[in-house]
Amino acid sequence: MTQTAVNPLVRMQEDLQRAMQKPLERRSWAMVIDTRKCIGCFACSVACVAENVSPPGVTYRTVLDIEIGRYPGVQRILKPMNCQQCENPPCVPAANEVAPGSMERRPDGIVVINYERARGREVFEAVRRACPYRLAVFFDDGRFHTDGTPARQAYEQRPALEYGRNWSRTQDQPPVNTVRKCHFCLHRLEAKMLPACVTTCIGGAMYFGDLNDPNSLVSQMLKEQRDKVMRVNESRGTKPRVYYLTDTPVLCKSHHP
């Protein structure tokens, strides 16, 4: 009747498992965000921070909350933001110019950072200047959430798997003093799990999958809802791999910072 037979998360996990059986270069990851179902709750943001053990100021995923109109004809645009995983990422050459080998775009579409090389504020500044998106890249300045309290807590220093390696923020070692951003939870994909922001979304607004697979949920959604699709700053030619669904693509675009 009114319910889907299976939750989209279950369906997308099956899509994911299918994709992971293919060689890396035959996968093409994309994220679809249905802004009509986003309620601006920040579940995705907190899931991301907890998953990646991000320090203060490093929030791979945030949510914009923009009010437009005059009382009582007011509207609220809620829009999740993270690295857009561009097909033509301006950040990669910019970063590599300062620190060779610090960033690359993988064949599956994920723009990755080499934590051993993307060190220092200079690299971060280069990336930030090159990136046409706000709130996409961050610098890990070595702080902890529980600094300034009676004791720094161990959970902030637990090993967190990013880029296939366990990192612990204990000393001035990566990822401290390093450029950081969303990587579509690459380590979870390897474990056949969807990105943390997708599984935790209480609005059911987050979708993820392989665009090379016409049967994946994301492929079907983008096809069926063609007229609702928007990408941010499309005119810049970056070709983001994050797609937004909205009933008002023009309005949504005009209010993107």
Partner 1 sequence: MTETERITRRSFLKTTALLGGSALLMSRLDWAREVASRAQRGALTHAEQYQLSQPQNILYSVCQQCNGQCGIRVKLLDGMAVKIDGNPYSPWNLVPHLDYKTPLASVATLDAPLCPRGQSGVQTLYDPYRITKVLKRAGKRGENKWITIPFEQAVDEIVNGGKLFAHVPGEENRVVEGLKDVYAVRDPKLMREMGDLVRTILAEKDVAKKRALVAQFKEKFKEHLDKMIDPDHPDLGPKNNQILYFWGRQKAGRGDFAHRFFGGGLGTVNRHGHTTVCQGSLYFAGKSMTDQWDGKGWSGGSKMYWMADTASAEFVIFVGASPFEGNYTPTNRTPRITEGLQKGRLKIAVIDPRYSKTASKAWKWLPNRPGTEGAIALGLIRWVIENRRFDVKYLSNANRAAALADKEPTWTNACWLVKIENNKPTRFLRASEIGLSEKELFVTLKDGQPVAFDPNDDKNAAEGDLFIDTTIRGIRVKSALQILWESASSKTLAEWARISGLSPRDLEELAREFTSHGKRAAVDLHRGVSQHTNGYYNVLAWFSLALLIGNYDWRGGQSWPSTYDILGSRADGPFNFGKLNPGALSPFGVSLIRHEVKFEETTLFEGKYPARRNWYPLASDIYQEIIPSAGDAYPYPIKIAFMYMASPVYALPAGHTWIPILQDVNKIPLLIASDIVVGETSMYADYIFPDVTYLERWEFSGTHPSVTFKVQGVRQPVVAPLTGTVKVYGEEMALQWEALLLALAEKLGLPNFGPNGLGPGQPFTHPDHFYLRMVANVAFGERADGSDAVPDASDEEIKLFLEARKHLPKSVFDPERWQAIVGEKLWRKVVTVLNRGGRFQSYAEAYAPTDTQLRVRYGRQINLYLEKTAEIKHSGTAETLPGYAVYLPTPTDYRGRLIEDEKNGFDLQLITHREILQTKSRTSGNYWLTEFMPENLVLMNSQDAQRLGLKSGDRVKIVSATNPEGVWDLGNGVKVPMAGAVQITEGIRPGVISFALGWGHWAYGAMDVVIDGNLIKKDERRGRGFHGNAAMRVDPFLKNTCLIDAVGGSAVFYDTRVKVIKL
User: What residues numbered 19-38 form the site for partner 1, per CB under 8 A?
Assistant: 34, 36-37
| Part in contact with partner 1 (CB under 8 A); list of ranges 103-111, 150-158, 215-223, 248-256 | 150-158
Nearer to partner 1, 146 or 233 (CB): 146
CB 176 within 8 A of CB 139: no
* Total residues in contact with partner 1, by rule CB under 8 A: 73
Nearer to partner 1, 10 or 24 (CB): 10
Residue 199 to residue 48: CA distance in whole angstroms: 11
* Residue written as token pair 């909205």: 246
Site for partner 1 in 219-238 (CB under 8 A): none
Site for partner 1 in 151-210 (CB under 8 A): 151-155, 157-159, 161, 164-168, 170, 173, 187-188, 190-194, 196, 199-205
Nearer to partner 1, 159 or 237 (CB): 159
Give SS3 for 112.
strand
Residues in the chain: 257
CB 187 within 8 A of CB 193: no
Which residues are bridge partners to 62 per DSSP? 81
State in angstroms the smallest separation of the CB of 203 from partner 1. 5
**Candidate residues 21, 23, 72, 172; the one interacting with partner 1 per rule CB under 8 A:** 72
- Say whether residue 62 binds partner 1 (CB under 8 A): yes
Site for partner 1 in 3-22 (CB under 8 A): 3-7, 9-10, 13
State in angstroms the smallest separation of the CB of 191 from partner 1. 4
For 234-239, which contacts have Cβ atoms below 8 Å and span 24 or more sequence positions?
A: 236/90, 236/132, 237/88, 238/84, 238/86, 238/87, 238/88, 238/89, 238/90, 238/132, 239/86, 239/87, 239/88
